[in-house]
Amino acid sequence: MPSLEDDGPERGAGGKPMDPIRRSVITSCSTRSLSDFVCEIRAVSGVSRFDLFVLRDTDITDIEAGQPELLPKRRPDEPDTRTSTQILADARNFEPIANWIHRQLDLCNEERRRGGAEGARVAALATYFPEVSARSHLDHLEGGADRSDVPFRVAERAIANTARLALRLKKAGLMEHAVVEVVCGSILDRCRCRSCEEKRQEAGEDRRQDIVIRSERNTKIELLCDRLLDVVGQVRGSAEGSDPDWALALELEPGPNYVLNSKTAIDGLIALLRDDAKYEPLRRHVGLNVDIAHMNIAGVEARDLVEYRDWILHAHLCNHPGMHTRDQVVGVWIPVERYCGENYPYLRLLAEIDESSPDRQGRPFTRTVALELEGCSRINWVHRSLVAMKHMTEVLKHHRQELPLSHAEPTVTG
């Protein structure tokens, strides 16, 4: 593993410094069609890597426009209430979704290939299946927690099928590593016992009748790992599972009710994965997605993550006013100038990760930071943020050793 005090940037062709971290954009930044969004970002901002969110409403509409409806089918004359979790969980949708992603990227890459330029590639697949850590409370129903329609079972299948999609894209040369971003859910669950279900039906839309159960965080972390064991088993048993180069990047969410929400929670998760023999199958396939904005809000500094750098798989970046609000253009709240940018300690940490370290136990690292502007749909915000991120990668390339690993540590200026 390289020292955090290595001298100078890596050199590429012609002795020019290489970008230590690559830029990506999550497709949930826009409601445009996938091919249109990718083509514009590639042409205007020069970014060729993308985190594909599976699936946006726009994507579902596009997929169904040229083929039979995805499963489960919509009820006639009723609003479409299907979720991406339900759609990804149904294995019958796997081939239509995989083929659609190929076609969308081919539309963007055909002209680039003729010009000899690098085509669009996928850095990671982004998901939102928080039910994976939910308690079932369905023991009063026939089949109980073993029912296939229990929310956490649906989420498990959705994550496993997304990992299969990533492996399919990797085999096609569209992904370097099959990395899937995973949220870890909440410590709060709606009670679904018989009594509460009956009261809920009587109350209709009056949610004041809901009873919420709060779990201990360590219990939920262990429950999450148990569910991920099921996911690993499903992927390994699939046609794509013979390739071991895939991983689930777990994301911290700041806030008291999230499962993975603090340095203490990260400590508990990694200790469980590293030390408990039960979870040995997860060690190759589970790590961290370092959302820099979330880490900042939660008070988890880069120096807190140094001991876990061999568990880091991927990263996100946006801007924020010190709380979990709508994501803002990079540089609006936290400046990108290298002498006062609070994001630089994390970027330095990421730049100095050694993918070849035996301590990684085969876990991949995308060496990519993805721009995530949740609920944005403003293409100019995306372009402005990518310009700021380019500035940051240049600072990192040429001045890495001057950057601190702590917000409190002064920047070296000479």
pLDDT by residue (tens digit) across 69-96?
999 998 888 888 999 999 999 999 999 9
Q: Taking Cα atoms as reference points, which of 104, 236, 101, 229 lies closest to residue 170?
A: 101
411: in domain:
no
**CA torsion through residues 394, 396, 402, 408, sign:** positive
To the nearest 10°, the Cα dihedral for 325, 347, 283, 183?
A: 10
The three-state DSSP-derived secondary structure of 178-219 is EEEEEECCECEEECCCHHHHHHHHHHCCCHHHCCEEECCHHH
String of DSSP letters for 126-153: E---GGGG-----TTSTTGGG-TTSHHH
Q: Taking Cα atoms as reference points, which of 115, 105, 118, 96 lies closest to residue 23?
A: 118
327: in domain:
yes
pLDDT at position 348, please? 94
150: in domain:
yes
Cα gap 35→107, rounded to integer Å: 6
5: in domain:
no
Q: By residue range, what is the domain housing residue 179?
A: 13-402
- Mean pLDDT to the nearest integer, 289-317: 97
Higher pLDDT, 31 or 376: 31
The CATH number of residue 389's host domain is 3.20.20.150
pLDDT at position 385, please? 96
407: in domain:
no
- Of all residues in the chain, the percent with pLDDT exceeding 90 is 69
Which range is least confidently modeled, 64-73, 235-244, 288-297?
64-73
pLDDT at position 169, please? 97
Cα gap 163→150, rounded to integer Å: 20
Given a cut of 80, whether residue 184 has pLDDT beyond it is yes
pTM for the full predicted model: 0.91
Number of H helices, E strands in the chain: 12, 10
6: in domain:
no
The per-residue pLDDT for range 54-72, each reduced to its tens digit, is 999 999 999 999 888 999 9
- Mean pLDDT to the nearest integer, 107-133: 83
What's the whole-number average pLDDT of the chain? 88
Structural domain count, the chain: 1
Given a cut of 90, whether residue 7 has pLDDT beyond it is no
Cα gap 185→327, rounded to integer Å: 20
Q: Which helix (H) or strand (E) holds 315?
A: strand 312-317
63: in domain:
yes
Cα gap 331→341, rounded to integer Å: 9
Which range is least confidently modeled, 116-120, 164-168, 267-271, 378-382?
116-120
408: in domain:
no
pLDDT at position 208, please? 60
Given a cut of 50, whether residue 165 has pLDDT beyond it is yes
